[in-house]
Structure 1
Amino acid sequence: MKTAGIIFTILSALLFAISPVLVSWTYGWGNNPLTMVLFRNLFVLPVLFVLMKRDHIAVRLPRDQFFQLLFVAAMGSCLTPLLLYSSYTYVGVGTGTTLHFFYPIFVALFCRFFYHEKLGQAKVLALILALTGTLFFMDFSNLKNLAGVATALASGMTYAFYMVLLEKKGLSRLNPFLCSFWLALFAAADLFVVGSFTDVLCFQQPVISYLTMIVIAMMTSFLAVVLLQKGIETLGSSTASIFCLFEPIGSVICGALFLHENLTPAKILGCLIIILAVVLLILAEWQKSER
């Protein structure tokens, strides 16, 4: 089960890593961040609904889980992308994304201080190594803009809340289609309200843009979210958050392959350090299971 959880989490991270390439293509066709996130959640709803009906899963939720998922969706599926995309206007994509990926340390802190979870030496060492590797992706010249730095870090904090609450409130044990359906529905509703008030939603886009958004929705709001939920259920949020750091590695590789971004020695070293951290964590989990 631990091995399955590791694989699910890494696959989820890689799916999230591929999506920015496709997202950047839609921006060239007239799309914008808020519209992208809205349709990413909206397009996945019919697929999840059909899958639930196929498996005879009731759509209705108990009252307490309804409000818990409403809050979790606001944190992870709505606020997180909005804060992250907003940070890009201040500090750029590279720096904003790097600061966002400090969320594993927020996950660890939330688990430690709110839920009194013991992290263990191996997890702490892996966390330090992973964050060190992430720093190699940083453009330090952009850190002068405090508003951008704060916004990017806030996106990491809201995503950390999302991961921790999925585990600690027992939501990760819900049927993955049911959980993903309500998360996507709440997020789409929140984003539609925000978009209506800000008047930034863009519906006049070519067919190719809408088709690409459907692909992105299937990759992220369906496959990646379901896989992450299963990973958190198996590993716990603090361990899963470290394996999620395969996402910046995947983003660097995809950026070099498809967007012709420079693959600098610093980025390569950062990827290797993160991989070392993940290997150490896998070995620690394996030794623990052997005892």
Structure 2
Amino acid sequence: MGKGTTPLPSLVREQGLNILKAYFQILAACLIWGTYGVFVQKMAYPPEVIVFFRFFFGALFLVILSYFTGRISQLRPSSHTGFLFVIGCINAASWLMMTRSIMYTSVANGFILLYTAPCFVILLAPFILREPFEKKSLLALAVSFAGIILIAGSGAGGLKEYNLWGSLLGLSSGILFALYLVALKKLPSGLLGLVTNTYMSFIIALVTLPLAAPSVFSVTLPDLLELAFMGIMIQAVGTTIYMIGLRKVKAQHGAILCYFEALFAMLFAALFLHERITPVFLAGAVLIIGGGLIIALKRKERSSAAENCRLPKSN
């Protein structure tokens, strides 16, 4: 091995650690996102208003952050701007449908239907992203989804509040969220993070503004501050962390790990909305965590890491 060359096992180990770090970044984003249902249930505003302010304040914070960190030049329009607009519209529709689904049904119902998305991601990824189909992804999906079903039916504000229209909206949000996740992986990895999140947040705020406009000026100052906090934390911080983590993992894995958002959402609902936690709920939580462990601990990354490593040239 020539001078200046890093041993292959070290590179493989380093890449494995980077992937594990990416998993934790996705889980951190899910923890932050999990607070969304509490905000929605506590606010007496149409979903269009909540979604608009979430993305508006998120985008505003990201632009200010970019300016003070000297990264504002990265936000200049590029050849990917049109594609970002399409992705933003898809995500806007998904969040509007999911938010209204929560209002019509419950936090549990809204999240279980949103997270049919990994099912569609696993079906789409091999064809659109050329990701190889993995049996472990299917196993992790089955285990995690079983956990979601248990939690939603455990009485934690769940399936007892069935509403056909709300359920159809929730399922539609799941399909659109799957398209959004797959589309993100079509972008250059360097764009995933602050740049993509800023563009999409502004686009979604722009798309939802006409829908939210009739009610925007009825928002009280205390609620506006709460919406600003939600936008900064959930959209600016949470989504940026998620996109950075998504750079290093497969779309299938990133989608399945998002089941933790539903788990966190229902835990927060139990803490702040007094939705009950039962033994069945806890069993569902164990299954969701088990599905995440299947993804994180049974990786077959060694061979793929070896194939993808680029060794420095010898001097």
Code of the residue aligned with 2:209 in structure 1: it is F
Give the superposition deviation at 1:255: 1.3
1:6-85 matches, within 5 Å, as 6-25=23-42, 27=43, 30-53=44-67, 54-58=69-73, 59-62=75-78, 64-76=79-91, 78-85=92-99
The question of whether the paired residues in 1 share the 8 Å contact of 2:143 and 2:291 is answered with yes
Paired position in structure 2 for 1:112: 126
Residues 48, 96 of structure 2: 8 Å contact kept: yes
Mapped partners of 2:206, 2:33: distance in 1: 22
Query: What is aligned with 2:301?
Result: 288
Q: Matches of 1:163 and 1:227 in 2, distance apart? A: 14
Give how far 1:163 is off. Answer: 1.0
1:196-215 pair list within 5 angstroms: 196=213, 199=214, 201-215=215-229
How is 1:142-161 mapped onto 2 (pairs within 5 angstroms)?
Answer: 145=164, 147-161=165-179
Q: 1:135, CA displacement in angstroms?
A: 1.0
Which of 246, 254, 277 is the equivalent residue of 1:240?
254
Cα-to-partner distance string for 1:17-38 (whole Å, 9 max, x where unaligned): 023223433x1xx433211111
Please list every run of 5 or more consecutive structure 1 residues that lacks an aligned counterpart in the other structure. Answer: none
- Structure having the higher helix fraction is 1
Give % identity.
22
TM-score scaled by length of structure 1: 0.88
Match in the other structure for 2:150:
136
2:281 to 267, 277, 290: 267
Distance 1:193 1:130, change over 3 A: same
Residue matched to 1:126: 140
- Does residue 189 (structure 1) correspond to residue 206 (structure 2)? The answer is yes
CA 1:167 to 1:125, structure 2 compared with 1: closer, same or farther past 3 Å?
A: same
Q: How high is the TM-score relative to the length of structure 2?
A: 0.82
Which whole-Å CA distance do the structure 2 matches of 1:150 and 1:100 have between them? Answer: 10
Report the CA distance between 1:144 and its aligned residue. Answer: 7.3
Write out per-residue CA displacement over residues 105-151 of structure 1, whole angstroms, 9 at most, x where no aligned residue. Answer: 11111102333421322222111111111111334556672x43332
Give per-residue Cα distances to partners, 1:29-48, cap 9 Å, x unaligned: x4332111111111123321
Residue number in structure 2 paired with 1:169: 187
Distance in 2 (CA, whole Å) between partners of 1:288 and 1:236 is 11
Q: Which of 214, 226, 230 in structure 1 is aligned with 2:244?
A: 230
Letter of the aligned partner of 1:168 in structure 2? K
Q: Deviation per CA, 1:201-235: give whole Å up to 9, x if none.
A: 24223322111111111111111110111121111
Range with bigger deviation, 215-224 or 52-61: 52-61
In 1, the alpha carbon distance for the partners of 2:20 and 2:191 equals: 20
Indicate conservation of the 8 Å contact 2:107/2:266, yes or no: no
Task: Give RMSD over aligned pairs.
Answer: 2.1
For residue 176 of structure 1, what is the amino acid of its counterpart? G
* Range moving further from structure 2, 115-124 or 245-254: 115-124
Rounded Cα–Cα distance in structure 2 between residues aligned with 1:222 and 1:269: 32
Please, which runs of 5 or more residues in structure 2 have no aligned partner?
1-17, 154-158, 307-315
Matched residue type, 1:60: R
State the 1:51 CA deviation: 2.3
AA of the residue aligned to 1:99: L
Structure of higher CA gyration radius: 2
The alpha-carbon distance between structure 1 residues 209 and 136, as it changes in their structure 2 partners (threshold 3 A), is same
